[in-house]
Amino acid sequence: MTAIDSAHYVQGFAPESRPDARVLVLGTMPGVASLAAGRYYAHPRNAFWPIAAALLDFDAALPYEARIAALNAAGVALWDVLAACERPGSLDAAIAAKSAQPNDFAGFLAAHPRVFRVCFNGGSAQALFRRHVLPGLAGIGRDLEYVALPSTSPAHAAMPYAAKLQAWRAIRPDQRMVP
């Protein structure tokens, strides 16, 4: 087993959810700014909160706790694929593959029986979920919709905000997905 570089070992947050959640939005692992602030999507240039606010009809300038409450009231839960990993900096590409420790999704889904859609904030979240989580969910007894969304990270600035906003409509529990 590879030794962990404790200087770059990071642990994520607990999920922000209510038992009646219907959509789960997954990032990979909080970045440096989020870890320092102790809250999801704390980097000022991350588009997550402006997009979520626009789609779920709340003010992106609300205090963090109020934004979480608005997200949860809309039926949306927030979490990350990884519980812990070794990663210098904030880039998903810097995650040491052998250090990736996924969160307990079987337990989360058992506690949130109404979740029917899982949305991935970026390709890394989706790839890590497929590799580390999906094989263990074969026996959960329900089908889930999986939706890949463009990353809201400032590192993914090539896509215009309007295009991201359109793609992110999938976080709305009332939004029908076209196969």
Residue 78 lies in a domain: yes
Provide the 3-class DSSP secondary structure of residue 146: strand
Residue ranges making up the domain that contains 60:
21-171
- pLDDT of amino acid 1: 40
Q: What is the DSSP letter of 39?
A: S
Percentage with pLDDT > 70 across the chain = 94
State the Cα–Cα distance between residues 148 and 87, nearest whole angstrom.
23
* 122 φ/ψ sector (left φ>0, alpha ψ -120 to 50, else beta): left
Count the domains in the chain: 1
104-131 confidence digits (pLDDT tens) = 999 999 999 999 999 999 999 999 999 9
The CATH number of whichever domain residue 160 belongs to comes to: 3.40.470.10
The two structure tokens encoding residue 123: 């390709």
* 117 φ/ψ sector (left φ>0, alpha ψ -120 to 50, else beta): beta
Residue 88 lies in a domain: yes
Residue 14 lies in a domain: no
Residue 156 lies in a domain: yes
Strands 82-86 and 9-11: antiparallel
Residue 113 lies in a domain: yes
Closest by alpha carbon to 16, among 40, 45, 35?
40
The reported pTM is 0.92
Local confidence pLDDT in tens for the 179 residues of the chain? 445 556 788 899 999 999 999 999 999 988 889 989 999 999 999 999 999 999 999 999 999 999 999 999 999 999 999 998 888 877 777 777 788 899 999 999 999 999 999 999 999 999 999 998 998 888 777 889 999 999 998 777 788 999 999 999 999 998 876 55
